[in-house]
């Protein structure tokens, strides 16, 4: 994208790499969920681009719902706090859930969301993320489908933002340090 080309320090994952990897992930998911109906739970907001592309490759019966959730507090156990800003509109009881997330960092959000959906009676809960930063992990989380492992760098693009910007980039990038200062505050 031309409008912010000068802000980009490095393209970490290209749109071609993303597209290829999503096809592979979709094949795995289709094989694993044959004869089942999935409820796909996207974690807002960053997952929406990944989820939209993945969904269109999933040749199986599925429904989609979204949840806005984040972890808080310093307690690094899965029993810690989770703040649900927007809950699911569907019940997960007795259903096979696939959580779709943009990036796993500390792992805290997922480590609290998975037990919450199990407590609601989900038949199974699996996780799918585009990006994984294993070096940042504070808690162990089970990642069933992972797009790319990346180093400990702050990334934007393909749904991921800085101050609500850059979600529209078709690739995952690292910004130049000076570009953070020039992003307009949307509030």
| Residues annotated as part of the active site | 105
139 sits near ligand 5GP (criterion: CB under 6 A): no
40 sits near ligand 5GP (criterion: CB under 6 A): no
- Taking Cα atoms as reference points, which of 93, 97, 88 lies closest to residue 69? 88
| Local structure of 75: helix, strand or coil | coil
Nearest to ligand 5GP of 53, 101 (CB atom) = 101
Tokens of 61: 């019966």
Cα 172 off chain centre by:
13
Residues 78-117 that bind ligand 5GP (CB under 6 A): 101-109
User: Measured from the CB of residue 35, what is the shortest distance to ligand 5GP in angstroms?
Assistant: 31
Cα 50 off chain centre by:
7
Q: Which residue has the tokens 């699911």?
A: 88
Nearest to ligand 5GP of 56, 164 (CB atom) = 164
Q: Under the rule (CB under 6 A), what is the footprint of ligand 5GP?
A: 46, 71, 101-109, 154-156, 160-161
């Amino acid at each position: 994208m031309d409008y912010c080309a000068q802000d980009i320090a490095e393209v970490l994952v290209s749109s071609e790499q993303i597209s290829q990897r999503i096809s592979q992930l979709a094949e795995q998911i289709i094989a694993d969920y044959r004869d089942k109906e999935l409820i796909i739970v996207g974690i807002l907001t960053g997952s929406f681009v990944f989820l939209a592309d993945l969904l269109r490759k999933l040749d199986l019966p599925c429904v989609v719902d979204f949840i806005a959730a984040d972890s808080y507090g310093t307690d690094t156990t899965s029993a810690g706090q989770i703040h649900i800003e927007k809950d699911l509109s569907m019940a997960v009881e007795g259903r096979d859930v696939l959580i779709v997330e943009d990036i796993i960092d500390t792992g805290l959000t997922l480590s609290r969301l998975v037990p919450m959906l199990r407590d609601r009676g989900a038949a199974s809960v699996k996780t799918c993320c585009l990006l994984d930063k294993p070096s940042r992990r504070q808690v162990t989380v089970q990642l069933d489908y992972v797009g790319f492992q990346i180093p400990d760098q702050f990334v934007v693009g393909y749904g991921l933002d800085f101050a609500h910007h850059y979600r529209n980039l078709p690739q995952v990038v690292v910004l130049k340090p000076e570009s953070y200062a020039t992003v307009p505050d949307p509030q």
